[in-house]
Amino acid sequence: MRLSTVILPIYRWPEARSVWSRAEDLGFHTAYTYDHLSWRNFRDGPWFGALPTLTAAACTTTSLRLGTLVTSPTFASRSPWRRTS
């Protein structure tokens, strides 16, 4: 059985690095992050972009598959998606 997890993009990178590495160390197959503006519970704190978060996670992990759980082009500029496709 392959297990996946969701890591919210609420951590600054020094802390996020250990969260993403820990997910890999725990044996998760895939880790996702959200591409939303924010959640109500986290509206007063940081909420980082999905693409920069996944790029940094890819530099830290070696076998963990990465992805967005939800991606909506209506929330953000479409130009990052044009450059990556």
> Is the pTM for the entire model greater than 0.85?
no
Task: Please give the C-alpha separations between residue 56 and each of 2, 15, 20, 43, 44, in angstroms, as whole numbers.
Answer: 23, 12, 9, 23, 23
At position 50, the amino acid (one-letter code) is: A
Q: In this predicted structure, what is the pLDDT of residue 82?
A: 56
Mean pLDDT confidence for 52-56: 92
Confidence of residue 80 (pLDDT cuts 50, 70, 90): low
Average pLDDT for the chain: 84
Mean pLDDT confidence for 2-27: 94
